[in-house]
């Protein structure tokens, strides 16, 4: 028992004498670290938290077709200072000069002495208990100013020894202000990306880099880069080269804004497209702000707003009739003075041209935009009851719209393009009825965006070739082309050559004799179609209740050799008219006028055609001059000449359409005639014969003071020039 008790005593001694104090000490340290000084150690832990951090890449630029900057990123820097990054010796050695530079060039609210005391306090741990390692020096510093500050004493030791922390930021700038704002778009945090900035974000954004960083301040998300070999440099984004023409965009926006201010609509859009390629040269969108104080580019109506187009759609209607061989332009159609009934629903013409006509030709019905005329033709040839395999008129008409590619979006490089809407023939889901086709013939019971309709008109201007509209022509990096986007042909021909020729003839007739007649000019020709559509309407047996109108004009110019196609759509004009010819047409005309005035490619060269024949009266006959000079001028101008006189001076004599070169001799004993000669040749002739020459005036010799043939005694001769 004694031995057993002794062993137990020893065990108790070890347990209570040694292990319990150790456990108590560990418990105390745990409580001290986790509870009493927990905040301090958590801050220290956060301060020493190291992890790889992403470095944002430089965003690419967006250029216009001529290389002008439409959008670019302008870098700036927020500068901070880590007073504990430098060795103590380096810090105090450069303290005075650094204080002088900072007080003089960075923050003049401090005196030099005041800044020195401030720098001392930052390093003094007894004063600066929290050991802040992220002291703000200056915000939004330019690159040049940053380079200058980096050259200051201490900072010039480098970012790891000097303690200067430069946080790079960038701001997206548009050198042309609000020009093409919605097309260029933006890519902002917490907002839906739009425009080219949004669609090509991955290309413009580049590839971010990475670097190991240490968290320097537990109170905020501030990090300091560490020097290590695993740093990955960011790759800057690629640049976009667009098809936008800055001058044309400016012309289009100004014309649209002027029209909007005059007519006070809810919104308006205008697009200009290159006929041959489908390149978008200008796209303007303006909408009225909520306060009604002005118009701004807040929404891309050109691609996102699908509406019932109204009479501009009649071009597709007449082309379907022509392509199927149902009508000729000279055929007669009964327009009933602009009023008719379809299934107890009344249809009226908006144009006063119809009110006195019982019937007219198909061509004239199109030119005066007769709703009744177009609707009755479609109703006659396509609006047949659905009786199975025998009659498929409605299916045939809808198929023609598909042949014209009107049922598909354009696929332009912008997000948010609305899909066109065409009813399926005899579909109950689409509420097809016996009045669907007559109203579809005049641009109702379907929806299409302005860009989709313009693409169709552009195909007509392009002799039937349908081009895909596009906004980006190339992707570049540091001036080198990475990828090039060429024009894309969607369909080689949307209709036969004969139909296209007749369609162009009809569009020219609208301007020459129809609803757009007052818009024509004798300076150049253009072709197009007016449109006036009812919006927010309700139709019934007692009439139609209308909530407003949409005015439009679609066409191209010049009419004979189209260069640009253009569409203008103005939604719910409040003042100055409601019709396409009064509201949208003048905007189209202003765009076309300014394009014609400012763009040389729209003008015929002055020297086009065969070179005119030079007749005797047009040739420089009886000109006298030095032989070598005369031959040089005649060869340069391409004027035919013959004769090889041996003398130094020659006389030009016109003969038919060429010049005869004859030798001209001058006497040495008498005063020669120099009338008609240039001053240099006249002085050369006279002074070589010893005469002293004085001149009066400028030009060629028109008079000489000594009569020709007078004996030469080396006298003074006065030449009058004129």
Prediction pTM value: 0.73
- Average pLDDT over every residue of 203-226: 66
The DSSP result for 13-68, as a single string, is IIIIIIIHHHHHHHHHHHHIIIIITHHHHHHHHHHT-EEEEEEPPPPPPEE-TTS-
> What is the DSSP code (8-state) at residue 11?
H
Sorting pLDDT into bands at 50, 70 and 90, what band is 125? low
Predicted pLDDT of residue 325: 95
Residues sharing a CB contact under 8 Å with residue 186, sequence separation 6 or more, in sequence order: 172, 193, 194, 195, 197, 198
Longest Cα–Cα distance in the chain = 170
Instruction: Report in angstroms the alpha-carbon separations of 709 from 678, 688, 718.
Output: 20, 16, 16
Sorting pLDDT into bands at 50, 70 and 90, what band is 533? very high
Which ranges of 404-449 would DSSP assign to H, the alpha helix?
436-441
- Average pLDDT over every residue of 139-163: 86
Nearest to 444, CA basis, from 571, 329, 536, 541: 536
The DSSP result for 250-316, as a single string, is HHHHHHHHHHHHHH--SEEEEEEEETTT-BEEEEEEEEE-TTSS-EE--S-HHHH--B--GGGGHHH
- Average pLDDT over every residue of 15-38: 68
- Average pLDDT over every residue of 428-455: 95
Predicted pLDDT of residue 129: 46
Determine which helix (DSSP H) or strand (DSSP E) holds 534, and give its type and residue range: strand 527-535
Instruction: Report in angstroms the alpha-carbon separations of 414 from 62, 162, 409, 553, 639.
Output: 14, 47, 11, 24, 57
Q: What share of the chain is helix, strand, coil (3-state, %, to 5)?
A: 35, 25, 40
Quick check: 221 and 438 in contact, CB under 8 A?
no
Two tokens, residue 519: 């818009």
Query: pLDDT higher for 491 or 98?
Result: 491
Query: pLDDT higher for 314 or 680?
Result: 314
Rounded Cα distance, 406 and 452, in Å? 7
Predicted pLDDT of residue 652: 72
Predicted pLDDT of residue 660: 73
Bond from prior residue into 288 cis (ω within 30 degrees of 0): no
- Average pLDDT over every residue of 637-650: 76
Nearest to 184, CA basis, from 294, 269, 300: 300
3-state secondary structure of 439: helix
Q: Average per-residue pLDDT in the chain?
A: 85
Give yes or no for residue 507 having a pLDDT over 90. yes
Nearest to 270, CA basis, from 584, 27, 627, 709: 584
Predicted pLDDT of residue 326: 96
Question: What residue has token string 């629903």?
Answer: 345
> What is the DSSP code (8-state) at residue 100?
H
Rounded Cα distance, 230 and 486, in Å? 41
Burial 97-114 (b: 16+ CB within 10 A, else e): ebbbbbbeebeeebeeee
pLDDT digits 0-9 by tens, 51-79: 666 667 788 999 999 999 998 888 888 88
Neighbours of 639 (CB within 10 A): 16
Query: pLDDT higher for 662 or 300?
Result: 300
Lowest mean pLDDT among 113-122, 297-306, 542-551, 614-623: 614-623
């Amino acid at each position: 028992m004694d031995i057993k008790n002794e062993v137990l005593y020893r065990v108790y001694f070890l347990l209570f004498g040694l292990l319990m104090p150790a456990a108590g000490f560990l418990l105390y340290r745990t409580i001290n670290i986790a509870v009493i000084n927990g905040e301090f150690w958590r801050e220290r832990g956060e301060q020493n938290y190291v992890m790889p951090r992403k470095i944002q890449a430089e965003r690419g630029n967006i250029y216009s077709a001529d290389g002008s900057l439409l959008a670019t990123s302008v870098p700036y820097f927020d500068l901070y200072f880590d007073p504990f990054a430098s060795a103590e010796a380096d810090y105090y050695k450069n303290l005075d000069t650094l204080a002088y530079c900072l007080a003089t060039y960075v923050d003049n609210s401090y005196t030099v002495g005041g800044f020195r005391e401030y720098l001392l306090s930052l390093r003094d741990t007894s004063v600066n208990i929290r050991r802040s390692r992220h002291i703000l020096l200056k915000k939004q510093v330019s690159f040049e100013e940053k380079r200058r500050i980096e050259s200051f004493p201490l900072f010039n030791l480098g970012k790891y020894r000097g303690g200067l922390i430069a946080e790079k930021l960038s701001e997206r700038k548009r050198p042309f202000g609000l020009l093409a704002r919605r097309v260029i778009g933006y890519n902002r945090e917490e907002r839906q990306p739009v425009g080219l900035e949004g669609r090509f974000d991955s290309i413009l954004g580049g590839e971010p880099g990475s670097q190991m960083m240490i968290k320097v301040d537990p109170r905020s998300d501030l990090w300091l880069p560490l020097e290590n070999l695993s740093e990955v440099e960011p790759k800057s984004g690629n640049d976009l080269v667009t098809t936008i023409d800055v001058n044309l965009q400016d012309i289009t926006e100004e014309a649209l804004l002027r029209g909007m201010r005059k007519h006070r609509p809810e919104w308006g859009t205008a697009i200009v497209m290159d006929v041959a390629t489908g390149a978008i040269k200008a796209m303007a969108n303006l909408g009225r702000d909520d306060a009604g104080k002005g118009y701004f580019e807040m929404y891309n109506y050109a691609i996102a707003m699908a509406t019932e187009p109204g009479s501009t759609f009649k071009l597709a209607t007449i082309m379907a009739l022509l392509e199927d061989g149902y009508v000729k332009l000279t055929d007669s159609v009964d327009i009933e003075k602009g009023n008719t009934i379809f299934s107890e629903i009344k249809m009226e013409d908006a144009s006063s041209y119809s009110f006195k006509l019982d019937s007219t030709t198909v061509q004239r019905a199109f030119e005066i935009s007769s709703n009744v005329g177009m609707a009755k033709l479609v109703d006659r040839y396509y609006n047949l009851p659905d009786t199975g395999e025998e009659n498929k008129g409605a299916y045939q008409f809808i198929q023609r719209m598909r042949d014209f590619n009107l049922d598909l979006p354009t696929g332009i490089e912008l997000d948010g393009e609305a899909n066109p809407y065409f009813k399926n023939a005899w579909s109950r889901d689409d509420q097809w009825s016996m009045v669907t086709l007559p109203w579809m013939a005049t641009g109702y019971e379907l929806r299409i965006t302005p860009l989709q309709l313009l693409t169709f008109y552009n195909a007509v201007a392009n002799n039937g070739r349908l081009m895909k509209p596009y906004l980006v022509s190339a992707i570049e990096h540091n001036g080198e082309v990475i990828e090039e986007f060429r024009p894309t042909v969607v369909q080689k021909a949307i209709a036969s050559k004969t139909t296209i020729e007749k369609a162009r003839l009809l569009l020219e007739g609208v301007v020459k004799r129809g609803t757009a007649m007052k818009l024509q000019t004798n300076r150049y020709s253009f072709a197009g179609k007016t449109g006036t559509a009812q919006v927010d309407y309700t139709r019934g047996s007692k009439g139609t209740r209308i909530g407003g109108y949409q005015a439009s004009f679609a066409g191209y110019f010049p009419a004979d050799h189209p260069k640009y196609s253009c569409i203008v759509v103005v939604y719910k004009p409040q003042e100055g008219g409601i019709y396409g010819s009064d509201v949208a047409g003048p905007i189209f005309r202003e765009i076309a006028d300014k394009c014609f005035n400012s763009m040389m490619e729209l003008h015929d060269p002055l020297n086009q055609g065969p070179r005119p024949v030079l007749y005797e009266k047009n040739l420089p006959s009886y000109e006298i001059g030095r032989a070598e000079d005369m031959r040089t001028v005649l060869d340069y101008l391409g004027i035919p000449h013959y004769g090889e006189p041996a003398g130094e001076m020659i006389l030009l004599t016109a003969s038919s359409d060429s010049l005869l070169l004859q030798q001209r001799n001058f006497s040495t004993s008498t005063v020669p005639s120099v009338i008609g000669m240039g001053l240099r040749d006249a002085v050369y002739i006279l002074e070589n014969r010893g005469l002293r020459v004085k001149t009066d005036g400028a030009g060629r010799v028109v008079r000489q003071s000594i009569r020709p043939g007078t004996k030469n005694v080396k006298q003074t001769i006065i030449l009058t020039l004129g």
